[in-house]
Structure 1
Amino acid sequence: MNRTDRLTGILLALQAGSSTAAVLAARFEVSRRTILRDVDALCQLGVPVIALSGPNGGYRLPEDYWLPPLHLSVEEATVLLFALAHLGNGDASPLGAARGTAEQKIRASLRPSERSASAEQLAHLTVASDENVPAAATVAALRHAVADEHWLDIEYRSTRGDSRRAILPRTVQVDGGRWYTSAVDALTAELRVFRIDRIGTLNRAVPPPDAAALVARATAVAVAYDDSTHPEIRVALSSRGVRLAANHPDFHRHLTGADADRAGMAFRCPPAELPYYARELVMFGADATIIAPTSLRAMVIDAARTLLDHHTATGHGVKE
């Protein structure tokens, strides 16, 4: 790291909070004496660095001090533009017009030669489009509901059928490439997680008459997804099963064991989630062996029998 980059780094570190010379020296892998010279250089450049007295000492910036826009390097701009590409292009982005204007401002901040260099790097970086990306208007409505703490009436489509329910969104999150909202669900009086791409129409709703009690009940009984009281799922996997699980949006984080003889998955989940995992494990076929719980194994067996009966019944009289 050259000195200019280190001075910028020190400035950014101090804007985030006070720090000592020793901590800064360790962070930038230089001597304490070098940090003292760098801080002196910042002061000579007009940066109001405040030296703190006392046994802990250190440096900080005034609370009302802010940095003017900093110039991005070609590498930094390329990283940001590539990250934005993961959020879709144009009207397909879940973050709407803000995603496009952010890209325009990043490109505009670069010199012509830097824009060309960045474009050349981006030409070798590709992002596959995701069919499950939610609509920008839906994400925006959920974000506003989280910020303003207001209820929404939504149409929700799931594998168990369609439903209409009132929810109070608490967070919007992305996990494994899928977008979710965690919300208080008036229908079940629970804190539930909904896939945003499965939300159809949604409108601002009048809070339920017992809204305060609903929120209190849902947040009071909410326990961790992997709470110790929840059933533990243990599954042995073949080498192909490991590859399937590694590419699964939920299973990949639960893989255990590096050896083929001990490869598998182990995790806990709420009892209500077992039917979902049963449906997913059916698709693994003989590459997954359910060790526990027995209720999950029974669900998979029932699903397999239903599938067998279906194909046995429909197979008669079908011409190849």
Structure 2
Amino acid sequence: MPKPKRLMELMMTVNRKRKFTVRELADQFEVSTRTILRDLQELSELGVPLYSEVGPHGGYQVLNERVLPPIAFKEEEAVAMFFASHALRHYSSLPFETQAESALSKFYLYMPGDVRDRIDQMKNRVDIVAPTRQKPAQHLTILLDGAIQQKVLCIDYESREGGSVRHIQPVGIYARNGYWYCPAYCFLREDFRLFRGDRIRSAQYSSADVAPLELNHVHLGNWEAFTRQKPEWVRMHVVLSKEGVQRCEAELWKAPKLHIGEDGSGAIDGMIPTSEISYFADFFLGLGKNAVVKEPAEMVQLIRKRLQEMIEMYDPDLQ
């Protein structure tokens, strides 16, 4: 086997085995132990983090910071990777943000000049805007790792009711309208809850005697179906102007299906949880005359109440 090919396969082998002896590798590649020792020295110089142990049970092992074998990318694949990273640049917090910047910097350094020029031009020609939030979500990496590894975390959480310490088992993380969210099983509530990333003040792996649950079957697409506290639902019917339809398409993501007419106007008609009445009331109030709420009656009353409060706030005769 040619030496370059042997080094490539050796790199993949040691990353896969993690712990091995020189004799095992020599037998596998059908070369002498002296040759394997030279090859391991070359891999170490290339950056593969090898650690040797002496003694009857010694050998070599790869440290946690493994170096993956080189991968050949086509030009379009390389540009696509930079585009994916560029698309997320408006988020103030990202999991593995430092590592991603380091990887892309290495990647960019070895690009041909014309490909680098193409990537630089792309940055000024395409953008995906997300709302910028002032409070960063600082614990995304450990939340994601907890979900993947099925580990229990201890978090200090700041909700509207105040701060509390929770033991949670994350399901995953997702971003919406500039915020990061983490659905997780809450051992305090004994049910699934949705936590907002910027409200998690601290997060660490739990040292308490809290055994993780078997939640491999629960993921971002189905976690709400496993909640024990089922929400109450109510019908919502809202008539929208053409501009109202456009605003709802751009901003509203929790609403039922939007029905659009030939002239561009439309309506929202479907079921929502009663817990979301306040959220929708505020949103449709902001649309002014471009949205008329017909149902539920509780939402109509809430909008009237808030309109009256605004009138009193701006009317000097009522102050």
5+ residue gaps in structure 1?
1-66, 213-217
* Deviations 1:261-287 (CA, angstroms, capped at 9, x unpaired): 750223433222222222222222222
How far is 1:248 from its partner? 0.9
Q: CA contact under 8 A between 1:176 and 1:249: conserved in structure 2?
A: no
State yes or no: 1:305 paired with 2:316: no
* Deviations 1:59-96 (CA, angstroms, capped at 9, x unpaired): xxxxxxxx9622221x4333321220233389854432
SS at match of 1:131: coil
* Deviations 1:220-253 (CA, angstroms, capped at 9, x unpaired): 852899x9x7323221111221222122152588
**Amino acid in structure 1 at the alignment position of 2:87:** H
How far is 1:128 from its partner? 4.4
**Amino acid in structure 2 at the alignment position of 1:274:** I
State yes or no: 1:239 paired with 2:242: yes
Residues 95 and 117 of structure 1: CA distance in aligned 2, closer, same or farther (over 3 Å): same
State how far apart, in whole Å, the 1-side matches of 2:240 and 2:97 are.
41
State how far apart, in whole Å, the 2-side matches of 1:244 and 1:169 are.
33
How far is 1:207 from its partner? 5.7
**Amino acid in structure 2 at the alignment position of 1:190:** D
Q: CA contact under 8 A between 1:176 and 1:250: conserved in structure 2?
A: no
Residues 207 and 81 of structure 1: CA distance in aligned 2, closer, same or farther (over 3 Å): same
State how far apart, in whole Å, the 1-side matches of 2:200 and 2:263 are.
40
Q: What is the aligned partner in structure 2 of residue 113 from structure 1?
A: 114
Residues 282 and 90 of structure 1: CA distance in aligned 2, closer, same or farther (over 3 Å): closer
Identity value in percent = 17
Q: TM-score, normalised by structure 2?
A: 0.61
How far is 1:176 from its partner? 4.4
SS at match of 1:269: strand
Q: TM-score, normalised by structure 1?
A: 0.61
State how far apart, in whole Å, the 2-side matches of 1:90 and 1:299 are.
33
SS at match of 1:110: coil
Q: CA contact under 8 A between 1:246 and 1:252: conserved in structure 2?
A: no
State yes or no: 1:196 paired with 2:201: no
Q: CA contact under 8 A between 1:154 and 1:203: conserved in structure 2?
A: no
Residues 287 and 93 of structure 1: CA distance in aligned 2, closer, same or farther (over 3 Å): same
State how far apart, in whole Å, the 2-side matches of 1:80 and 1:211 are.
35
Q: What is the aligned partner in structure 2 of residue 138 from structure 1?
A: 139
State yes or no: 1:266 paired with 2:249: no
Q: CA contact under 8 A between 2:256 and 2:269: conserved in structure 1?
A: no
Q: What is the aligned partner in structure 1 of residue 181 from structure 2?
A: 180
Alignment of 1:77-116 (within 5 A): 77-88=78-89, 93-116=94-117
Q: CA contact under 8 A between 2:90 and 2:131: conserved in structure 1?
A: no
State how far apart, in whole Å, the 2-side matches of 1:114 and 1:127 are.
22
State how far apart, in whole Å, the 2-side matches of 1:242 and 1:265 are.
9
Q: What is the aligned partner in structure 2 of residue 256 from structure 1?
A: 259
Q: CA contact under 8 A between 1:232 and 1:267: conserved in structure 2?
A: yes
State which drifts further: 78-87 or 116-125: 116-125
Q: What is the aligned partner in structure 2 of residue 281 from structure 1?
A: 284
State how far apart, in whole Å, the 1-side matches of 2:182 and 2:130 are.
21
State how far apart, in whole Å, the 2-side matches of 1:165 and 1:144 are.
20
Q: CA contact under 8 A between 2:281 and 2:302: conserved in structure 1?
A: yes
Q: CA contact under 8 A between 1:133 and 1:197: conserved in structure 2?
A: no
**Amino acid in structure 2 at the alignment position of 1:87:** L
SS at match of 1:174: strand
State how far apart, in whole Å, the 2-side matches of 1:198 and 1:230 are.
27
Q: What is the aligned partner in structure 2 of residue 150 from structure 1?
A: 152
How far is 1:118 from its partner? 2.7
Q: Which of the residues 69, 72, 79 maps onto 1:70?
A: 72
State how far apart, in whole Å, the 1-side matches of 2:91 and 2:257 are.
35
Q: CA contact under 8 A between 2:140 and 2:197: conserved in structure 1?
A: yes
Q: CA contact under 8 A between 1:152 and 1:202: conserved in structure 2?
A: yes
Q: What is the aligned partner in structure 1 of residue 164 from structure 2?
A: 164
